[in-house]
């Protein structure tokens, strides 16, 4: 899960939790508020009833009491209204409640209804002149409160959903605002890992993320300066090595031709060692120069039409003696006698050489196969072997410069400088192709190069 989604979900969860807590507090508070309002209303009604009873006492008429009882009976929340005089006279409506005890408190009737009775004595000049009582239907009051709370719940739900929608869009915006510069920095680190040091991260912020981006850009600039110094150093050193190596090579060939005089067997053996070492060092220097030119984007391909099958056969033939000496096989597979390809011959020869050399180096049993084929508009080159294989976790590392696979304990081979596959990948990308690997430890390796087939006008290419 990426950072944007994680931040959005986190903010959304916090917003949801806040809405739920707010709804809970609002619903609980609304219920308490409505209960208090009901109780205040009940107290006002009993006070008004008591006042009406006092006025009736002074007027020596029961009309005020009767009128109040009739008016109160219209309230569906009131189960009954009663007045008991000091002489024991009872005025109760409905009459069914005439025999009920009017003591205050909760009572459950025979039909299961719950009645809440409010009673208050009527006092005149400090003496008790009677008793007024109002019985409220507790179930109806509860239903009314629930209805009012339900209405609040609906309003709260609408407000909560609206708040969540707004919070979602705000969280997505905030998450994107935080994650986008971090994504740019991550992409920048990937560019640096690939050796591309000409791109800085564009993050215009004044917070910690901006500080990180500026520190990253400073690091990239310093790395670029160091890389340029390294390339200049490699170019100078390889050039300085090239001249004496060429002289040593010519001198060794002159001696091997026995022009100064005949050689003993021991002298010939030593000269062969010097010649092989010179070839290895020359190859290493050439690889360094090729790598430097690729990194400096100075490797410009010269596209021409040539027979890819003939070129592959030429390189395979060069490694055939080495394969026979190791007791393994090396063969070329191609379904057609010729396979025309528009590409750079020199770069293709280097790619084939490095891929076959790598297969020969890590194969002790079985052999290797170089396969050429066409798949629609794509030219496919595959070099597969039955060697020691590559751990899949190293797929992204084997094309890095100077990376060398750790050998099994029972396998001994003289490893190179770790530039062969890096050069393959660099040249393939210069030619507009791609390279992939499929391997398992102990089960061999297959490197596959794919090029889109190019076409040239008749007067635009040189046929090899």
95-127 pLDDT, tens digit each: 888 788 888 888 888 788 888 888 888 888 777
**How far is residue 30's CA from residue 15's CA, in Å, rounded to a whole number?**
22
pLDDT surpasses 50 at 33: yes
Region 391-395: mean pLDDT is 78
- The residues near 379 (Cβ < 8 Å, ≥ 6 apart) are 308, 339, 341, 372, 450, 451, 452, 453
Would you state the pLDDT for residue 370? 92
Domains located in the chain, CATH noted? 3-146 (3.30.450.20), 208-295 (1.10.287), 304-452 (3.30.565.10)
Q: What pLDDT score does 459 carry?
A: 40
Mean pLDDT across 372-383: 89
pLDDT for position 463 = 45
C-alpha–C-alpha distance, residues 284 and 386, integer Å = 26
Express as a percent the part of the chain with pLDDT over 70: 88
User: For the chain, what is the HEC assignment?
Assistant: CCHHHHHHHHHHHHHHHHHHHHHHHHHHHHHHHHHHHHHHHHHHHHHHHHHHHHHHHHHCCCHHHHHHHHHHHCCCCEEEEEEEECCCCEEEECHHHCCCCCCCEEEECCCCCEEEEEEEEEEECCEEEEEEEEEEEHHHHHHHHHHHHHHHHHHHHHHHHHHHHHHHHHHHHHHHHHHHHHHHHHHHHHHHHCCCCCCCCCCCCCCHHHHHHHHHHHHHHHHHHHHHHHHHHHHHHHHHHHHHHHHHHHHHHHHHCCCCCCCCHHHHHHHHHHHHHHHHHHHHHHHHHHHHHHHCCCCCCCCEEEEHHHHHHHHHHHHHHHHHHHCCEEEEEECCCCCEEEECHHHHHHHHHHHHHHHHHCCCCCEEEEEEEEECCEEEEEEEECCCCCCHHHCCCCCCCCCCCCCCCCCCCCCCCCCHHHHHHHHHHHCCCEEEEEECCCCCEEEEEEEECCCCCCCCCCCC
**What is the average per-residue pLDDT within 61-71?**
78
Q: Above 50 in pLDDT, residue 309?
A: yes
Q: What is the pLDDT of residues 212-264, one digit of tens each?
A: 888 888 888 888 887 777 777 766 776 677 778 778 888 888 888 888 888 88
User: How much is the average pLDDT of 258-285?
Assistant: 80
Q: Is the pLDDT of residue 462 over 60?
A: no
For residue 155, what pLDDT band results from cuts at 50, 70 and 90?
confident
Query: Residue 425 to residues 145, 238, 387, 431: CA-CA distances in angstroms?
Result: 76, 22, 21, 10
Q: State how far the Cα of 288 lies from the Cα of 296, in Å rounded to an integer.
A: 12
Q: Which of 273-277, 352-356, 406-410 has the highest mean pLDDT?
A: 352-356
pLDDT band at 458 (very low <50, low <70, confident <90, very high): very low
Region 40-67 average pLDDT: 79
Whether the predicted pLDDT of 415 surpasses 70: no
* pLDDT for the residue 171: 77
pLDDT at 403 over 70: no
Give the model's pLDDT for residue 382: 93
pLDDT of residue 409: 56
Checking if the pLDDT of 456 tops 70, the result is no
Highest averaged pLDDT of the listed ranges 11-20, 78-87, 373-382, 394-403: 373-382
| Tokens matching residue 308 | 């890819």
Percent of the chain with pLDDT over 90: 6
Lowest mean pLDDT among 79-88, 193-202, 207-216, 450-459: 450-459
Higher local confidence (pLDDT), 299 or 302: 302
What pLDDT does residue 310 have? 93
**Model-level pTM?**
0.49
pLDDT at site 239: 65
Instruction: State which of 86-90, 232-236, 320-324, 408-412 shows the largest mean pLDDT.
Output: 320-324
Q: What is the pLDDT of residue 464?
A: 44
Least confident range of 208-217, 293-302, 390-399 = 293-302
Q: How far is CA 213 from the centre of its chain?
A: 20
pLDDT attached to residue 292: 67
Mean pLDDT of the chain: 80
- 82 pLDDT exceeds 90? no
Which is higher by pLDDT, 296 or 437? 437
The more confident residue out of 31 and 137 is: 137
């Amino acid at each position: 899960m990426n950072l944007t989604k994680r931040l959005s979900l986190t903010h959304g969860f916090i917003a949801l939790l806040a809405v739920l807590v707010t709804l809970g507090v609002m619903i609980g508070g609304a219920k308490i508020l409505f209960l208090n309002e009901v109780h205040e209303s009940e107290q006002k009604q009993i006070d008004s009833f008591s006042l009406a009873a006092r006025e009736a006492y002074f007027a020596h008429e029961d009309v005020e009491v009767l009128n109040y009882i009739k008016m109160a009976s219209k309230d569906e929340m009131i189960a009954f209204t009663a007045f008991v005089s000091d002489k024991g006279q009872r005025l109760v409506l409905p009459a069914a409640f005439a025999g009920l005890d009017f003591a205050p408190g909760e009572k459950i009737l025979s039909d299961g209804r719950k009645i809440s009775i409010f009673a208050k004595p009527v006092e005149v000049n400090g003496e008790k002149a009677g008793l007024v009582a109002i019985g409220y239907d507790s179930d109806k009051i509860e239903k009314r409160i629930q209805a009012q709370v339900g209405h609040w719940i609906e309003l709260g739900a609408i407000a909560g959903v609206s708040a969540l929608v707004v919070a979602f869009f705000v969280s997505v915006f905030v998450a994107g605002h935080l994650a986008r510069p971090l994504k740019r920095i991550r992409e920048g680190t990937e560019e640096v890992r690939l050796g591309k040091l000409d791109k800085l991260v564009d993050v215009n912020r004044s917070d910690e993320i901006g500080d990180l981006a500026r520190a990253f850009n400073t690091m990239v600039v310093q790395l670029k300066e160091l890389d340029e110094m390294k390339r200049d150093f490699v170019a100078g050193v390889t050039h300085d090595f090239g001249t004496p190596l060429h002289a040593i090579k010519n001198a060794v060939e002159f001696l091997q031709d026995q022009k100064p005089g005949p050689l003993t067997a021991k002298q010939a053996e030593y000269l062969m060692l010097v010649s092989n070492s010179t070839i290895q060092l020359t190859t290493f220097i050439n690889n360094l120069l090729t790598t430097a030119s690729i990194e400096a984007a100075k490797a410009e391909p010269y596209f021409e039409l040539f027979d890819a099958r003939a070129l592959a056969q030429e390189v395979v033939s060069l490694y055939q003696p080495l394969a026979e000496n190791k007791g393994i096989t090396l063969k070329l597979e191609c379904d057609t006698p010729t396979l025309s390809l528009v590409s750079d011959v020199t770069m293709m020869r280097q790619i084939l050489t490095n891929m076959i050399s790598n297969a020969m180096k890590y194969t002790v049993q079985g052999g290797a196969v170089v396969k050429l084929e066409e798949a629609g508009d794509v030219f496919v080159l595959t070099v597969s072997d039955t060697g020691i294989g590559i751990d899949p976790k190293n797929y992204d590392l084997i094309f890095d410069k100077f990376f060398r696979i750790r050998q099994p304990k029972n396998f001994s081979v003289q490893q190179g400088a770790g530039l062969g596959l890096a050069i393959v990948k660099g040249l393939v990308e210069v030619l507009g192709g791609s390279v992939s690997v499929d391997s398992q430890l102990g089960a061999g390796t297959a490197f596959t190069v794919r090029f889109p087939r190019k076409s040239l006008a008749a007067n635009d290419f040189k046929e090899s």
